[in-house]
Amino acid sequence: MGQEITASGESSAADTTFEPGCIFCSILRGTIPATVVRETEHTLAFRDIAPQAPTHVLVIPRTHAYPNAAELAAGDPALTAELLRAGAAVAAADGLAEDGYRMVFNTGDYAGQTVYHVHLHVLGGDALGRFGTP
């Protein structure tokens, strides 16, 4: 699935919100290209443009409504679970399930969050370093 493709246009989901200027909303609309690896009704998974591991995939909801994992979990538990299931499916599809992988939600400035459209990082494909303060 290394081909450069774009997401399949507008979602018909009624709860979809779009934020002009949000990179991930533009990927959802197909106006910024991304290497999409998985789509579900309410989520999209695509490879990170600056991978930090052999596999580095971002999984996002199709709505801009939630800036971080805490707000997503509070506002839509079912969507939270769908996002995590999609992350696990991406890991399995990339052959990471046996050796292990990491799923991360950066939240806020100190965690280095740069895009305030909630996203799950799926990282693996090699032994990963510890994390925390450098």
In terms of CB distance, is 24 or 76 closer to ligand 5GP?
24
72/38 Cα distance (integer angstroms): 20
Interaction partner, residue 106 (ligand 5GP, Zn ion, none; CB < 5-8 Å by kind): ligand 5GP
Could you tell me the two tokens for 96?
Answer: 């990471």
* CB 14, min distance to ligand 5GP, A: 26
* By CB under 6 A, residue 49 contacts ligand 5GP: yes
Helix, strand, or coil (residue 105): coil
* By CB under 6 A, residue 78 contacts ligand 5GP: no
Interaction partner, residue 86 (Zn ion, ligand 5GP, none; CB < 5-8 Å by kind): none
Q: What angle do CA 120, 73, 8 make, to 5 degrees?
A: 50
130/102 Cα distance (integer angstroms): 11
Per the annotation, the verdict on 119 as an active-site residue is yes
Catalytic residue ranges: 119
